[in-house]
Chain A
Amino acid sequence: MRHIISILLENEAGALSRVAGLFSARGFNIESLTVVATNDSTLSRMTIVSIADDGIIEKIVKQLNKLIDVIKVTDLTATEHIERELLLVKVNVNQQTQVNIDKQIDAFSCKLVDVSEDIYTIELAGKSKKINDFLANLDASKILDVSRTGVTGICMKNRNLTKGA
């Protein structure tokens, strides 16, 4: 099953490689990984998407908790949560393809962030599934470059990782 693991950790050099090293040393799989400082500059928040059964995820969470730099670990998928990913994609546009591409941009409420003679650069934020669907609907041969941020996520309602951590 796909899990989104959210980690609050000390914003120190090497903290990222400790987490990534833990996954690789134990043969755990990382689908995507995002990390950036929080509003408290001494803290970083890392979001990792991993596909594994619940037992493996439990082991991962325990091992992450064991790292000295790690302050808090939550499996977001076990609670109500919101997930988002950002896509930037460049597509080749010509007279034959433009109608379909414009239709998809409208259907998915994308933003056109750059337009040149025959190239669109499109921005789309949403669940990973939405981004996958959008990319699938484009003509693959016209896609020039894809850049995705990986998933970030947050718990809904009154559950927080940072406040009171």
Chain B
Amino acid sequence: MKLNGAQILVNSLKSEGVKHIFGYPGGAVLHIYDALNACDEIEHILVRHEQGAAHAADGYTRASGKCGVTLVTSGPGITNAVTGIATAYMDSIPMVIISGQVPSALIGNDAFQEVDAVGITRSCVKHNFLIKNINQIVNTIKKAFHIATTGRPGPVLIDIPKDITIATVEPKPYPNSVEMRSYQVPSRADSAKINAAADLISLAKCPIVYSGGGCIIGNADQELRAFTRQLGFPITQTLMGLGAYPATDKQSLGMLGMHGTYEANMAMHDADCVIAAGVRFDDRVTANIDKFCPNAKIIHIDIDPSSISKNVAVDIAIVGDVKLVLSDLIVKMKTKFIQDISLWWLQIDRWRSVNSLAYQTKLGIIKPQTVIETLYEVTKGNAIVTSDVGQHQMWAAQYYQFDYPRRWINSGGLGTMGFGLPAAMGAKLAKPELNVACVTGEGSIQMMTQELSTMLQYATPVKIINLNNGYLGMVRQWQEFFYEKRYSMSYMDALPNFVKLAESYGHIGIKVEKEQDLKPALIEAFKQKDRTVFLDILTDPTENVFPMIPSGAGHHEMLLAGRDEMASMNDDGLNLV
């Protein structure tokens, strides 16, 4: 029996095991929506904005490890989704995006709702396809999922003209495997490199493990734990890597980088051996490259050869799947002598005793840090926490202790405001059994509040923790430090009544203004198992994120809250923003 292109496409998605699609219909994809309507195995989630679709699919992927799928129409449908696609690309998140295109005969004619989707997304996808023939559909979908989910993962776009979804053909069976001569995925690393790394590790007197998002995306958390515990080394994690190693473990030094802990950054600076696993040496982590790890030999494990020595020259580069590389290293290190590092631990404990995350409380004022600590207490550290971008993101990363992977979901690379709410919705659909909290600010949340409507329609009970300080806090903090307190456009005037906003979408809204109400409100919110609760929490408008490495400085030049004056910045430093 002949099937049309849309039916073949939907059947292909079924063959890939797709259970949810996040999308928004339009003229160019109506045939696909018609085919989806007849498909019981796939649930379509109708978002209110295509950016929300991409972020929701992204949150779904990060929470579950399954490849999220986004479906949008041509023209404004795909351009709206671009921010979400770029967000996934920067954080190496697998995703398949299907965009409708105007009929083949109209491509290039400036047709209604025509845009060059392949051209527009080229620089923010791992790969993209324009389907030109109905017979290409099955192979293209197979390739897209293969490319998106293997190697260094990333989003893959498939642009499909409307006429191809309408045409009919006798369907081919869905392929079991895919052969691509131009795309080979590295897996096991060269054993000579493993041996060289093992030799270096066995000489280290001041070692540190520096792990990142690659350990989560590569499902390498068990190997990372085993490796770090076997050696007894301290470990620090990037913003993207939180949860791959338990934050509450005694070997964990917490996050490193611009707002990382004192002990993590000092240990990086003084280390003689850095084992970097699934990280990309982002500028927010390295601070001033010239002052980065001056005494260390660096071993870098990464699946993407182009990430090696991109920002920092490394001594041993191991290209391979981080899960396999770490298991090879675990075996290798069993036969190796390890140095006594008790003096190194003594030094680290001295740095730890500085307690760089300490903060001043003020009577009657809710501190944002307290909100996150209370959230941790109330959820017993078990929730999935998504965040938007800004001060609240850093506080969530610093004060929520992530002991498990795939529980901390934020836009680390692109820094996308508006990410948190749709990502929380996607995470809740992926993991309905877990509590999901979206930590946000009054600036970020207003970039995506329309998704409150989607959350009502599909009953995704998320708890929204709005740290409302009336400012674009991170912008205000930078203006305070570097622009002599000229708060240009960082003040959010005319805020909505968030409680009424939530209620207008059928959710529960709670305003929290007093510190004694904070914990009861959080307890009440998480008691509401089936309802989305919007907690509008008025927090200290003057609070800043500490500790902090001022731009242009090195890891050993951190500023601590209340103890250091912000040094005046030079132009080189400001440029590094």
> Which residues from B are CB-within-8-Å of A17?
119, 122
A78 CB–B CB distance under 8 Å: no
Picked from B130, B182, B308, the residue with its CB within 8 Å of the CB of A68 is B182
Min Cβ gap A20→B in Å is 10
> Which residues from B are CB-within-8-Å of A10?
182
A75 CB–B CB distance under 8 Å: no
Picked from A14, A21, A63, A69, the residue with its CB within 8 Å of the CB of B182 is A69
Verify B182–A9 contact, CB threshold 8 A: yes
Interface string of B115-132 (1 = CB under 8 A from A): 000110011001110100
Interface string of A1-43 (1 = CB under 8 A from B): 0000000011001100110010001000000000000000000
> Which residues from A are CB-within-8-Å of B309?
58
Interface string of B175-186 (1 = CB under 8 A from A): 000001111000
Interchain Cβ contacts under 8 Å between A and B, 29 examples: A9-B182, A10-B182, A13-B130, A14-B118, A14-B122, A14-B130, A17-B119, A17-B122, A18-B122, A21-B122, A21-B123, A25-B123, A59-B310, A62-B305, A62-B308, A62-B310, A63-B306, A65-B305, A65-B306, A66-B304, A66-B305, A66-B306, A68-B127, A68-B147, A68-B180, A68-B183, A69-B182, A71-B181, A71-B182
A70 CB–B CB distance under 8 Å: yes
Min Cβ gap B150→A in Å is 11
Across the A-B interface, give the 6 residue pairs with the lowest CB-CB distance, nearest first.
A62-B306, A68-B127, A71-B182, A25-B123, A66-B306, A63-B306
Chain B positions near chain A (C-beta within 8 angstroms): 118-119, 122-123, 126-128, 130, 147, 180-183, 304-306, 308-310
> Which residues from B are CB-within-8-Å of A71?
181-182
Q: Which of A17, A25, A62 counts the most chain B CB atoms within 10 A?
A: A62
Min Cβ gap B280→A in Å is 13
Verify A59–B182 contact, CB threshold 8 A: no
Min Cβ gap A12→B in Å is 9
Min Cβ gap A48→B in Å is 17
> Which residues from B are CB-within-8-Å of A66?
304-306
Task: Give bound CA distance, A77 to B310, whole Å.
Answer: 22
Task: Give bound CA distance, A71 to B180, whole Å.
Answer: 10
Min Cβ gap B143→A in Å is 9
Task: Give bound CA distance, A69 to B129, whole Å.
Answer: 11
> Which residues from B are CB-within-8-Å of A63?
306
> Which residues from A are CB-within-8-Å of B308?
62
Residue of A nearest to B147 (CB): A68
> Which residues from B are CB-within-8-Å of A59?
306, 310
Verify B182–A70 contact, CB threshold 8 A: yes
Task: Give bound CA distance, A63 to B123, whole Å.
Answer: 12
Residue of A nearest to B308 (CB): A62
Task: Give bound CA distance, A9 to B182, whole Å.
Answer: 8
Residue of A nearest to B123 (CB): A25
